[in-house]
Structure 1
Amino acid sequence: MSLFPELDVPPSDRLFFGIFPQAPVAEAIAGRTRDLKGRLGLAGAPLTPDRFHVTLHHIGDYAGLPRGVVAQALEAGEAASTAAPFEVVFDRAASFNNRGNNPFTLQGRDGLSSLHGFQKALGLAMAHAGLGKQVARQFNPHVTLLYDRALAPETPVEPVSWTVGEFVLIHSLLGQTRHIVLGRWPLKG
Structure 2
Amino acid sequence: MPAERPGNRLFFALWPDEATRAACAEAARVLRLRMQPRGAPSVAQRYHLTLLFLGDDVPEVAETAARQVASHVRARPFTLRLDHAGSFRNREVPWWLGSREPPPALSTLHERLREALLRARVPVQPMRFSPHLTIHRDAGAPLPPTLIQPIEWPVRDFVLIRSHIGRAPVVYEQVGCWPLDPDAPEAAAGGGQMRLL
Q: TM-score under structure 1 normalisation?
A: 0.86
Contact 1:75 1:129 in 2 (8 A): no
Counterpart in the other structure of 1:3: none
Question: Which of these residues, 8, 16, 31, is aligned with residue 11 of structure 2?
Answer: 16
Per-residue deviation, 1:123:
0.7
Q: Letter of the aligned partner of 1:162 in structure 2?
A: W
Q: Give the SS at the match of 1:38.
A: helix
CA distance in 2, matches of 1:37, 1:28: 14
In the TM superposition, what are the counterparts of 1:76-95 in structure 2 within 5 Å? 76-80=69-73, 82-95=74-87
Q: Which runs of 5+ in 1 are unaligned?
A: 1-5
Contact 1:23 1:49 in 2 (8 A): no
Counterpart in the other structure of 1:165: 156
Q: TM-score under structure 2 normalisation?
A: 0.83
Per-residue deviation, 1:185:
0.6
Q: Deviations over 1:141-177 (max 9, x none)?
A: 0000010222111111111121111111111112431
Bigger helix fraction: 1
Among all aligned residue pairs of Structure 1 and Structure 2, give the percentage whose two residues are the same amino acid.
33
Q: Which runs of 5+ in 2 are unaligned?
A: 183-197
C-alpha spacing 1:134/1:111, structure 2 compared with 1 (3 Å)? closer
Contact 1:14 1:172 in 2 (8 A): yes
CA distance in 1, matches of 2:180, 2:126: 21
Of residues 85-94 and 105-114 in structure 1, the stretch that sits farther from structure 2 once superposed is 105-114
Per-residue deviation, 1:136:
4.3
Contact 1:86 1:114 in 2 (8 A): yes
Q: Deviations over 1:48-95 (max 9, x none)?
A: 221110000000011xx5211101110121111x22211111111011
Query: What's the C-alpha RMSD, in Å, of the aligned pairs?
Result: 2.0
Question: Which of these residues, 60, 63, 85, is aligned with residue 67 of structure 1?
Answer: 60
Q: How many residues align?
A: 178
In the TM superposition, what are the counterparts of 1:5-44 in structure 2 within 5 Å? 12-44=7-39
CA distance in 1, matches of 2:118, 2:72: 11
Question: Which of these residues, 76, 96, 102, is aligned with residue 105 of structure 1?
Answer: 96
